[in-house]
Amino acid sequence: VIVGKDLHEIVVNLIVEKGTVSGSKLASVLEQKDICSRAQTYRILKELVDKEVLLRPKKGAYSINMFWLWNMSDVIDRASRNILKMQSSEGGLPSSGEAVRRQFSSFRTVYSFWNHYLAIILSKTTDDRIFSWIPHPWFRLVPKPTLSSMIACEDKPKAVIYTILGGDTFLDRWGNIEIDGKVHVSNAIGPFEDQRSLYFDLTDDYIISIKLDKRTTDALDALYSEIKDMSAESFNRIQNFLDEPISATVTCENRPKKAKMLKKTFEDFWGF
């Protein structure tokens, strides 16, 4: 509860960013920015220590209490699961033969919405197979990942993900996770190679897709072909690119016939 207060939240966020912070330095920064006085800062630090949110690893220094953080993670995990159950039961998905569409102008909001809808689908469907076509896995580069679909996947212990990637560059391989028996990734030329602007996940009768504009698609292809390492210069270029405005449409469809045809295409590719 205490972290919900504005000043307490500011102090906690600053300490999270730095790891360990000097109390005097923190007080000076907040005073210079006219956020609060030095006395207020020290009062807040004391309250957070008393509540076991913060620890004092050495004299005058403060850091986050990992036990508190783990407890918060558990709360967030349980809250996420409850939200997924509620939204799934309230019919947040399109009916058979219908679709819902949303327009977005940034990579981060696209990824957040896509991931959120995928989580609702996974929490509701009975199919344990998830098929994906990903021209470039740019979502691995988004610095603030959304965990909702990961939580939903954990609740489907038999779920297996089959992903076709549209490239084999350094960035396509960077951060790639392939888990034997659980996650399968192929960089081989696949059946969707002519659809470089389209990304989609398919499970059961649901298809959730992202359609990027041509300018963004071409820029992504160029970025992925030119980045050869994860140096500071490359990282800055990637983050600047992710901050640029885009035009994207996220669509969630419930199309049994279309889904069946796409599944057959994936099954032929994977040799089922």
* CATH code of the domain containing 11: 1.10.10.10
Q: Mean pLDDT score of the chain, rounded to an integer? A: 81
**Residue 155 per-residue DSSP state:** T
Query: Which H or E element spans position 202?
Result: strand 198-203
Q: Are residues 29 and 99 in the same domain?
A: no
Q: In the prediction, which pLDDT does 141 show?
A: 83
Structural domain count, the chain: 2
CA distances from 18 to 9, 62, 251 (A): 14, 10, 39
Tens of pLDDT along 214-241?
Answer: 999 999 999 999 999 988 899 889 989 9
Q: Does 70 reside within a domain?
A: no
107 and 60 share one domain:
no
Give me the pLDDT at residue 145, please: 46
CA angle centred on 91, ends 85 and 92, rounded to 5°: 85
Point out the domain boundary residue: 42, 64, 86. 64
Q: Token pair for residue 65? A: 């209490």
Tokens, residue 70: 């783990």
Instruction: Give per-residue pLDDT as tens, 91-137.
Output: 567 889 999 888 888 888 888 778 777 877 877 778 888 999 999 99
Q: Quick one: 107 and 221 in the same domain?
A: yes
Residue 226: what pLDDT?
95
High-pLDDT (> 70) share of the chain, %: 80
Q: Which two tokens stand for residue 41?
A: 């800062």
CATH label of the domain that carries residue 134: 3.30.870
86 C-beta neighbours (distance < 10 Å), count: 11
The whole-number pLDDT of residue 131 equals: 94
Domain assignment present for residue 143? The answer is yes
Asked whether residue 83 is assigned to any structural domain, the reply reads no
24 shares its domain with 104: no
For residue 147, what pLDDT is reported? 47
Confidence of residue 248 (pLDDT cuts 50, 70, 90): very high
Taking alpha carbons only, the member of 168, 164, 111 closest to residue 142 is 111
259-265, long-range: CB < 8 A, 24+ apart: 259/202, 259/204, 259/205, 259/206, 259/207, 262/131, 262/202, 262/207, 263/131, 263/202, 265/191
**Statement: residue 258 has pLDDT above 80:** yes
Report yes or no on 59 lying in a domain.
yes
Residue where a domain stops, chosen among 64, 86, 118: 64
pTM tops 0.85, yes or no: no
Q: What is the pLDDT of residue 155?
A: 58
pLDDT range class, residue 89, cuts 50, 70, 90: very low
Distance CA(129)–CA(185), nearest Å, equals 13
Please state, in angstroms and rounded to a whole number, the distance separating the CA atoms of residues 267 and 272: 5
Question: Based on the domain organization, do 249 and 119 belong to the same domain?
Answer: yes
Q: Check: CB of residue 262 under 8 Å from CB of residue 131.
A: yes
171-188: b (≥16 Cβ within 10 Å) or e: bbeeeeeeeeeebebeee
